[in-house]
Structure 1
Amino acid sequence: MVLRQAEPTLAQLARGYPILAITGPRQSGKTTLARKAFPGQPYVSLEDPDTCAFAEEDPRGFLARYPDGAILDEAQRCPALFSYLQTRVDADQRMGRFVLTGSQQFGLMSSITQTLAGRVGLVQLLPFALQELLDAKVSVGSLDDMLLRGLYPPLHDRPLAPEQWFANYVMTYVERDVRQLIEVQNLSLFQRFLKMCAARCGQLLNMSSLANDCGVSHKTIGAWLSVLEAGYIVFLLQPHHQNLGKRLVKTPKLYFHDTGLAAYLMGIRDADHLSIHPARGALFENFVICELMKRRLNQGLAPNLYFWRSNTGEEVDVLIEQGDKLMPVEIKSGQTFTSGFLSGLHRWLQHAGDKALPAHLVYGGDENMARGGVSVHAWHGMQHTPAP
């Protein structure tokens, strides 16, 4: 069993909130975490049609079956329950009674904000963090193996081929959620859109270019992106707003929550192909940013990550905002460290002045070191970087 870093956070939140919510992508381990963290609570899946119908038609009778609380899986499927949950926890303010899980950010979060505001402790659970697997002595293979397989739990606790698993994941989950959230007239166009997004992994978001390549309107691209964000398939990394004496790019960058899914959508099928693929650097950058994000989300905190890029092309891959200070992190996929890796960091440090915290570099090699005033971290040694 892999110990999830979010489990202590859930235990802490359970002491201060009557309801806990675990949201995140499908197959990220939400149900497993909820049942492990709260083994004494009954488990109820609202994906079961009969159970969901009972909860919708008689919410009082449904909740009466669980006077001491329960784990309600895929809770967004039964929005009628939320008002009755509010009444129940207001009348009996025992902490940590109900645990809600959900895969659709829009459905679960909108119900929480409308009826359960102030009563819910929230954790967003992404696929495994690399450190979780390393701590559990689970082999992830080489860097290219890990980028190709990704970090979804089923691909590390079952003998599954990534290509087959991702094909089923896209068909059974991504496309189903799309149909539930918006009406897609042409599913093949949406599939093309998914692949176009993967091809742009780590790039500045250009919605007009996406619309032209997919043959749909700018408005449609916006709606489809919102669905992918709601389903925790992609996320947008925002540029940092502070000028630092430079005109800055104001467009976000597009990333996937898992490199394995992005690689699959790019048509990469083995580690040898990935090792020479032009998108390898972008996938490695995507991986590092996701790992930094997971460390924050697993603590129940909002992400505090940005990137910095001037209109002349100067760039730092990640800025971690800590109060009024900024910690720069550069990401290089090369396995051999060279002093050129540090040039962007050194330029940014000159602009930032006293706003800058110590700089870090994560690269594709195996050795941790300090060079030129920068802490250099191997890809599998990211636990030594300061927490975001």
Structure 2
Amino acid sequence: MDRMVIDNEAFLSSLKSQKRLRLLFSVLLGASCSTAFAENWEPMTGADTLHQFIAGATAEISLTPGVTAVGKYNVDGTAQIKAWNETFLRRWAVKGEDLVCYSSDEETNCFRFEKNLDDPGAYRSQNVKTNEWVVFRRVEGEEGSFSGKGPGEDDVGGLGTPSAAEIAAELSDPNTSLGSMNFQFDYIAYKGDIPGAGGAEAQRVLFQPSLPYKLSETSNLFLRPAVPVIFKQDVPGRTGGFNSEGVDLGDISFDASLAKTLPGGFVMLAGLAGTLPTATNSKLGLDQWLLGPEAALATVRPWGVAGVLVSHQWDVAGEDDYDTSVTGGQYFYAINMGDGWQINASPTFSYNHEAPSDDKWSFPLAIGVSRTVILASRPWKFGVQYWHYLETPDTFGPDYQVRFSLSPVVKLPW
């Protein structure tokens, strides 16, 4: 038996040696083929050649299933990228003898082009900033039309796809046509005259989908619910101290509004805001139906966005033992820092007309940072904000708040 084991080991060793030789030969052959294939790409040079290649070209890039980006580069040096139901405006020009550069309000990126000598319909572009290559093909029978598949993770974007910086700026526009699923994770610390108020806290998640209906290039209809899930909420007890409530659904709020972008980069919004008595715990809701008007004004500039939204809600049905009359709102700003980074915040404030004089105002000062990235060809926005309340109800109100946010861009159902 020992002899048979020795012979088998020798046989197996011989087989392994042969496999290693075949593997080495395959690697060398593959490297040789790859080198030969690489040599079949020829750089496209010459200002006139590149201008003729790009001017009037249309690039169709597949992003995710059912989502395509279409870039149109006009002869006059303007360009439009249509993706995720939004249009991104650009300018383009040939730089030197081998570069084509596009510029948006947020950034400038340049590309080199090569053509495949063995396959006349195949081309590829290289982003000078990232050195990443994207292969695309000329559409047969359609002069100036190209198609390809976008890179899975490319924050810089391409000639046919929007960049993370462009997406970030668009998501900050209150009249954006981009659809998104917004998740906000809040931690709130409280203070007040009630004994023990300084140790009270709350933890919740707010889900707010935004699925605008595009009416025109400058107008959108928004129907946005805000669904709060409360994991923990400390509320004053009847006999003193605080009781911790949760996990529960809170009152769902919503708004239905029409937004329009005006000449000069101004945005106006008007509509209705409301609150539904959906709380599963009576201590965490009003048990009333609220309704009232809302309006917003914002300015959108190359550096970013700034604006304010104000609403007022009255109780129109439900519990009639008390009245509700609350003016609420939100101021917001975003400063574009490049590469998808922004300094931004969007804190909410309120003025309770029915509360005692020392308990009417809740108003925070806020700062935050966010980053938009492209993951699996889908834009995602991540952010964190800190709110410090300059005004809060004396009896019991928020002291500070930390918010983490997550917002994937989604395809609209219409």
Q: Which has the higher helix share?
A: 1
TM-score w.r.t. length of structure 1: 0.26
Bigger relative contact order, structure 1 or 2 (CA pairs below 8 A, ≥6 apart): 1
Q: Which has the higher strand share?
A: 2
TM-score w.r.t. length of structure 2: 0.24
